[in-house]
């Protein structure tokens, strides 16, 4: 990132607005928006993400930054009537990180910048409170020492504990000014011993170092891990907000809190939040002291409470969405420190979107942008069975919904270790902090004994869609002894517990789970219109109806039996996009395929095929019946033949043992020879797909015959079968032409014999780079293309999924080579560009070419948007993902162009 001469790197809060998140970060943009709305925001300014990018790229702040900051600081000092760190009446500022996307607790913040040995006295006089001034100074050295100077935070914590211990008190507030003075001295000594330098006394130096530390924290381990989890690009950088300090710790008429304009768990309107009297902001978010419900503020300070309610209404109407807020009251004066469109649970997202439509604040297209397919997928998770016999041992705050069962672990290291060996774990902590992120990711659910809905555990778990119960105060968590005690029950590490993030209940042992009401609704077992309909189901029903109304992409299912097909239909599938016929050759039928492979003569082969034909036909009749009136794309056999034969090692041992016993088994010997003949080093690129059809006489024609006869039978039964025959792994049009000719002959023969006109479409998968590159030619012989993005990803990247996912994908993800596996979300630049070109070339040859995708990407939210954009006609995915694909197809169609779908 190079700097441009006229670039402006610093914006006063009065200069920005909420649309400048790229430049000012979310926090800075919203502080500016609130300032411009006339809300009480402490004055300040924002250093842009561009400045951060210059610094991260070159290791130096942009040359112009220093002077720009000086100019803004001068203006701020003038407005406040005091100077940064001025000895008799100091201006103090906070230096806070703030990226485009919220990354709670992942980057650094330093408060009370401007305090020094000189100005601490001034602050004491100004506030009329010596204890407060020394407490603020000790907080500064502690935070600055840890985040800016890199001193081990434990050293400060230990000194604080020692001071409390010496005085025989348990809480910080019991330390008086003299104790805190001593503590400051000790902290300064720690800084000197650990870093070899004195704690900086010059206020501007403090500020500049803190800004640099915030820039650096963008690339801290915690931040990087969080970004990967949340798919936040690594090159955005963070802005830095410099804001005049207001104090919530100036006595009982001060305090700090967090509020939501509506309940982030249910979406209901009301007063939701936590308040902590006589405290600074970080105390609430860290969940260190227990807060009171926000409603209590009405009793404590009615004037501020009423003002806050008024502001919350202004914000919700202005943002047209649920907002969350951080505020501070300094001696009866309310200050807004932050607002943003609030994170919410998946269920609340659906409810709020429909509530806002009903309130006339947003329209249906906007409602679709307020929910995501990932949230819908979360709502389809099972829940605990209400009728199960359970042993409830405690209850906390329902912080993030879901039903999680796992073995109790009490530290992140064990959580990661056990989950790597396949165990499901519940991470139990007194409270979590950013160092627990690894363990939180590894765990099925998170349980804490302290902290409210806005504690670190709750905020992060909600962001990850992970079940969380927090603030379960009756739990006594003993991390050292790896156990917890709840009302006399002892839970040791490894004991199974179940936690319900929707009710906050904690159970001992494994509680059985049942399907979610949303799945019951999709299954047709629960009706959205019924009088007692679940509020959530009603909201999902409405949003799905909006999506179905606007979407252009059709949604089909990957299914190969009638049961899956029927479920897919209930879930809204408009056809089958991929029936993998190899699944019909397993189980008892495997031996028939074995006979086919072992056949030495034409007669033997024909006999084997004859035996398979009626079975295949029956499968197709059932499938066409289940999907009557809807298209069903049947793919001819794809996998390499060795998949139908016994394992090579097992068989070799069997033959060797038999030989040793002189007990020859002719069939085993023939089998072993066939296995050797068909054994492939790289089966993904070997004898499979259309290549099989071309070298095994009669195989594909048997399948085509079965399809044609099944379709004829369904037509005769007054059904409406709409079969499409799909040839896999085609690389050149010649392959397709040969198979096509043979297929057409068989179809014509069946039509003549049965007297039924079949109209079977013939098409191909595009799953090899050569097919994509010659799509224009291939379209001459294909009535439709279905992109097989699983194989296309493997062949474009040159790696086989089974091998690479286990061996080096984690390293690639860690190194940021890809943010997400290309098997999960389509690689737009590589695989995607082949798809785009093939769409264009195919349509140029055959304007009415039907285009779909049946790789797993068909059910991935981000990929669905891509397929919409390149103009496919449909996506096909597993039955369970159909609602997600329908929703995302609707979101893609309703999305204003150029906007971010996140
Ligand atoms: C594909 O390659 O994307 C595909 C759908 O085929 P399969 O996964 O069965 O190879
Ligand atoms: Mg494939």
| 551-640+680-894 CATH choice from 3.30.70.3000, 3.40.1160.10, 1.10.10.10, 3.20.20.60 | 3.20.20.60
C-alpha distances in Å from residue 326, one per residue of 274, 339, 340, 867: 10, 6, 9, 40
578 in contact with ligand 1, CB cutoff 6 A: yes
- The mean pLDDT value of the chain amounts to 91
At the fourth CATH level, which superfamily is domain 255-344? ATP-grasp fold, B domain (3.30.470.20)
The region that residue 759 occupies, defined by phi over 0 for left and psi between -120 and 50 for alpha, beta otherwise, is: left
Which one has a higher pLDDT value, 291 or 411? 411
283: its two tokens: 């105390």
Q: CA dihedral in degrees (75, 77, 81, 83; nearest 10)?
A: -150
Indicate whether residue 580 lines ligand 1 (CB < 6 A).
yes
More confident residue, 879 or 665: 879
Q: Is the model's pLDDT at 31 over the cut of 60? A: yes
Q: Would you say 675 and 692 are in contact if contact means Cβ atoms under 8 Å apart?
A: no
Angstrom CA distances, 749 to 568, 708, 712, 742, stand at: 33, 10, 12, 11
**The predicted structure's pLDDT at residue 902:** 46
Are 393 and 489 in contact, with CB atoms under 8 Å apart?
Answer: yes
* Catalytic residue (one of 243, 468, 470, 854): 854
Token pair in block for residue 275: 């308040």
Domain ranges (residues) in the chain: 10-244, 255-344, 381-514, 551-640+680-894
Give the torsion sign (CA, 845, 847, 850, 853). Answer: positive
Instruction: Label residue 656 exposed, middle or buried (CB < 10 Å: 0-12, 13-18, 19+).
Output: exposed
User: In whole angstroms, what is the distance from residue 540 CA to residue 73 CA?
Assistant: 50
Q: How would residue 758 be classed by pLDDT, with cut points 50, 70 and 90? A: very high
pLDDT tens readout for residues 626-675: 999 999 999 999 998 888 888 888 888 888 888 888 887 888 888 888 88
Taking the C-alpha atoms of residue 174 and residue 345, their distance in angstroms, rounded to an integer, is: 38
Q: How far is CA 853 from CA 49, 275, 435, 860, 867, in A?
A: 39, 51, 41, 12, 8
Of all atoms in ligand 1, which is nearest to the CA of residue 794? Answer: 2
Q: Determine what percent of the chain is predicted with pLDDT higher than 90.
A: 70
Q: How confident is the model at residue 796 (pLDDT cuts 50, 70, 90)?
A: very high
Average pLDDT for 279-295? 74
183, two tokens:
């503590």
CB 367 within 8 A of CB 543: yes
Nearest to 312 by CA among 339, 275, 331, 332: 339
790 lines ligand 1 (CB under 6 A): yes
Atom of ligand 1 minimally distant from the CA of 854: 5
Confidence of residue 3 (pLDDT cuts 50, 70, 90): low
Helix (H) or strand (E) holding 805: helix 801-807
Ligand 1 centre distance from Cα of residue 772 (Å):
15
User: Which secondary-structure segment (H or E) carries 766?
Assistant: strand 761-766
- Ligand 1 centre distance from Cα of residue 876 (Å): 11
The answer to whether the CB of 855 is under 6 A from ligand 1 is yes
411 half-sphere exposure, CB direction, 13 A CA radius: 8
Q: Do domains 255-344 and 381-514 have the same CATH topology?
A: no
Nearest CA to ligand 1 atom 10: 791
Measured distance CA(86)–CA(92) in Å, rounded:
9
Beta strands in 628-684 (DSSP E): 631-635
DSSP run (H or E) holding 537: helix 535-550
Within 8 A by CB and 6+ apart from 885, the residues are 373, 553, 555, 858, 859, 864, 875, 877
Does the Cβ of 560 fall within 6 Å of ligand 1? no
With tokens 């139908």, the residue in question is 644
> Using an 8 Å Cβ cutoff, are 790 and 855 in contact?
yes
Contact 425, 442 (CB under 8 A): yes
Q: Taking the CA atoms of the chain, what radius of gyration do you get in angstroms?
A: 33
If you take atom 4 of ligand 1, which residue's CA is the nearest one?
788
The closest alpha carbon to 97, from 311, 243, 231, belongs to: 243
Mutate to test the pocket of ligand 1, among 577, 579, 634, 638 (most ligand atoms within 8 A of CB): 638
Task: pLDDT band for 42, please (50, 70, 90 cuts).
Answer: very high
Nearest CA to ligand 1 atom 9: 580
Tens of pLDDT, residue by residue over 154-170, are: 999 899 989 988 988 87
Q: Tell me: pLDDT of 280 over 70.
A: yes
Higher per-residue confidence, 20 vs 655: 20
Question: What ligand has the least distance to the C-alpha of 859?
Answer: 1
Cβ–ligand 1 distance for 90 under 6 Å, the answer no
- Grade residue 901 by pLDDT with cuts at 50, 70 and 90: very low
Average pLDDT over residues 328-334: 96
Q: Do the beta carbons of residue 472 and residue 283 sit within 8 Å?
A: no
List CB contacts of 157: < 8 A, sequence separation 6 or more: none
Question: From the CB of 793, is ligand 1 less than 6 Å away?
Answer: no
Q: Cβ(713) to ligand 1 under 6 A?
A: no
pLDDT class of 899 with cuts at 50, 70, 90 = low
Contacts of 806 by beta carbon, 8 Å cutoff, 6+ apart: none
Q: Answer with the residue of higher pLDDT: 44 or 817.
A: 44
Ligand nearest to the CA of 633: 1
**CB-CB contact of 500 with 390 (8 Å):** no
What does the pLDDT average to over 302-319? 96
The closest alpha carbon to 868, from 829, 836, 846, belongs to 836
Residue closest by Cα to atom 6 of ligand 1: 788
Q: Considering 52, 72, 323, 456, which one is annotated as catalytic?
A: 456
Residue 382 φ/ψ region, left for φ over 0, alpha for ψ in the -120 to 50 degree band, beta for the rest:
beta
Torsion sign over Cα 776, 781, 787, 793 = negative
Measured N-to-C along each axis, helices 833-845 and 789-797 cross at an angle, to the nearest 10 degrees, of 120
pLDDT tens readout for residues 80-118 = 999 999 999 899 999 999 999 888 777 778 999 999 999
Whether pLDDT at 448 is above 60: yes
Measured CA distances, 351 to 186, 369, 453 (Å): 53, 13, 19
Q: What is the pLDDT at residue 663? A: 83
Question: How do strand 93-99 and strand 109-113 relate by DSSP bridges?
Answer: antiparallel
434 or 539, greater pLDDT: 539
> Mutation test of ligand 1: which of 560, 576, 580, 635 has the most ligand atoms closer than 8 Å to its C-beta?
580
Residue with tokens 């799905």: 544
Counting residues of the chain whose pLDDT is more than 70, the rounded percentage is: 96
Q: Does the pLDDT at position 54 exceed 80?
A: yes
Quick one: pLDDT at residue 400?
82
Q: What is the rounded distance in angstroms from the CA atom of residue 573 to the CA atom of residue 883?
A: 9
Quickly name the fold that domain 10-244 has: Dna Ligase; domain 1 (3.30.1490)
DSSP 8-state class, residue 345: -
> Which amino acid residue places its CA nearest to atom 8 of ligand 1?
790
CB 75 within 8 A of CB 404: no
Fold of 381-514: Glucose Oxidase; domain 1 (3.50.30)
Strand 489-492 relative to strand 496-500, pairing:
unpaired
Question: Alpha carbon of 841 to those of 150, 772, 819: distances in Å?
Answer: 58, 9, 30
Place of tokens 């349980």: 447
Distance of CA 88 to the CA centre of its chain: 50
Does ligand 1 have an atom closer than 6 angstroms to the CB of 801?
Answer: no
Asked if pLDDT for residue 727 goes beyond 60, the answer is yes
Helices (H), 666-718: 666-678, 690-695, 699-716
- Strand 784-787, strand 850-853: pairing: parallel
* pLDDT at residue 391 tops 80: yes
Decide if 877 is catalytic.
Answer: no
């Amino acid at each position: 990132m190079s700097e441009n001469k006229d670039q402006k790197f610093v914006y006063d809060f009065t200069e920005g607005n909420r649309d400048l998140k790229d430049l000012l970060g979310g926090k800075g943009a919203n502080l500016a928006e609130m300032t411009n709305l006339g809300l009480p925001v402490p004055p300040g300014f924002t250093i842009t993400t561009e400045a951060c990018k210059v610094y991260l790229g070159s290791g130096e702040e942009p040359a112009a930054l220093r002077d720009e900051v000086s100019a803004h600081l001068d203006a701020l000092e003038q407005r406040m009537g005091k100077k940064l760190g001025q000895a008799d009446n100091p201006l103090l500022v906070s230096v806070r990180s703030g990226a485009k996307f919220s990354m709670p607790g992942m980057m650094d913040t330093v408060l009370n910048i401007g305090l020094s040995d000189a100005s601490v006295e001034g602050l004491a006089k100004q506030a009329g409170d010596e204890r407060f001034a020394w407490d603020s100074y000790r907080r500064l050295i502690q935070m600055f020492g840890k985040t800016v100077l890199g001193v081990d935070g434990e050293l400060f914590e230990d000194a604080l504990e020692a001071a409390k211990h010496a005085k025989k008190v348990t809480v910080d507030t019991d330390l008086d000014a003299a104790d805190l003075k001593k503590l400051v001295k000790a902290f300064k000594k720690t800084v000197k011993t650990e870093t070899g330098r004195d704690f900086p006394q010059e206020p501007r130096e403090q500020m500049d170092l803190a800004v640099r530390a915030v820039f650096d924290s963008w690339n801290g381990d915690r931040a990087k891990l969080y970004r990967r989890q949340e798919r936040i690009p690594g090159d955005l950088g963070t802005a830095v907000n410099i804001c005049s300090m207001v104090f919530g710790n100036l006595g009982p008429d001060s305090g700090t809190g967090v509020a939501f304009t509506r309940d982030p768990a249910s979406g209901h309107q009301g007063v939701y939040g936590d308040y902590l009297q006589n405290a600074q902001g970080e105390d609430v978010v860290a969940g260190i002291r227990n807060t009171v419900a926000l409603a209590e503020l009405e009793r404590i300070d009615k004037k501020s409470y009423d003002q806050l309610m008024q502001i919350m209404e202004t914000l919700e109407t202005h943002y047209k969405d649920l907002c969350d807020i951080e505020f501070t009251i300094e001696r009866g004066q309310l200050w807004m420190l932050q607002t943003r469109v609030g994170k919410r649970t998946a269920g609340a997202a659906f409810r709020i979107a429909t509530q806002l439509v009903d309130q006339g604040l947003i329209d249906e297209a906007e409602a679709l942008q307020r929910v995501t397919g990932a949230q819908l997928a979360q709502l389809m998770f099972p829940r605990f069975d209400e009728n199960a016999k359970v042993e409830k041992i405690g209850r906390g705050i329902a912080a993030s919904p879901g039903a999680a069962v796992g073995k109790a672990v009490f530290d992140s290291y064990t959580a990661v270790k056990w989950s790597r060996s396949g165990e499901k774990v519940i991470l139990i902590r007194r409270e979590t902090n950013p160092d627990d992120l690894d363990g939180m990711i590894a765990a099925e659910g998170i349980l804490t004994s302290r902290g409210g809905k806005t504690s670190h555990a709750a905020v992060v778990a909600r962001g990850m869609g992970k079940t969380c119960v927090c603030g379960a105060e009756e739990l006594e968590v003993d991390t050292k002894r790896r156990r917890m005690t709840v009302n006399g029950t002892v839970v040791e590490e490894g004991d199974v517990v179940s936690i319900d993030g929707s009710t906050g209940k904690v159970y001992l042992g494994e509680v059985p789970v049942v399907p979610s009401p949303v799945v019951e609704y999709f299954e047709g077992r629960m009706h959205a219109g019924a009088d007692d309909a679940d509020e959530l189901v009603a909201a999902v029903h409405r949003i799905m109806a909006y999506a179905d109304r606007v979407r252009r992409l059709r949604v089909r299912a990957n299914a190969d039996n009638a049961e899956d097909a029927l479920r897919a239909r209930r879930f809204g599938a408009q056809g089958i996009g991929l029936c993998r016929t190899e699944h019909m050759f397993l189980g008892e039928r495997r031996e028939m395929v074995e006979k086919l492979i072992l056949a030495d003569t034409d007669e033997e082969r024909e006999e084997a095929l004859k035996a398979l034909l009626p079975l295949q036909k029956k499968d197709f009749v059932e499938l066409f019946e289940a999907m009557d009136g809807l298209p069903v794309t049947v793919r001819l056999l794809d996998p390499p033949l060795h998949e139908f034969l016994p394992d090579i090692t097992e068989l070799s041992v069997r033959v060797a043992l038999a030989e040793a016993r002189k007990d020859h088994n002719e069939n085993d010997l023939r089998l072993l020879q066939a296995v050797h003949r068909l054994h492939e080093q790289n089966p993904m690129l070997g004898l499979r797909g259309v290549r099989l059809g071309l070298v095994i006489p009669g195989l594909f024609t048997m399948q085509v015959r079965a399809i044609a006869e099944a379709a004829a039978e369904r037509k005769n039964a007054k059904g409406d079968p709409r079969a499409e025959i799909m040839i896999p792994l085609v690389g050149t049009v010649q392959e397709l032409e040969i198979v096509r000719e043979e297929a057409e002959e068989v179809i014509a023969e069946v039509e003549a014999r049965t007297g039924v006109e079949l109209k079977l479409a013939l098409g191909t998968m595009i799953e090899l780079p050569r097919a994509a590159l010659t799509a224009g030619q291939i379209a001459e012989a294909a009535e439709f293309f279905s992109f097989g993005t699983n194989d296309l990803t493997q062949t474009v990247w040159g790696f086989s999924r089974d091998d690479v996912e286990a061996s080096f994908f984690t390293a690639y993800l860690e190194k940021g080579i890809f943010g997400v596996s290309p098997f999960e979300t389509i690689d737009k630049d590589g695989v995607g560009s082949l798809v785009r070109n093939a769409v264009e070339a195919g349509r140029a040859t055959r304007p009415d070419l039907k285009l779909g995708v049946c790789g797993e990407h068909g059910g991935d939210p981000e990929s669905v948007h891509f397929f919409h954009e390149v103009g496919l006609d449909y996506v096909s995915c597993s039955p369970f993902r159909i609602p997600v694909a329908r929703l995302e197809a609707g979101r893609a169609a309703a999305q204003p162009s150029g906007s971010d779908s996140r």
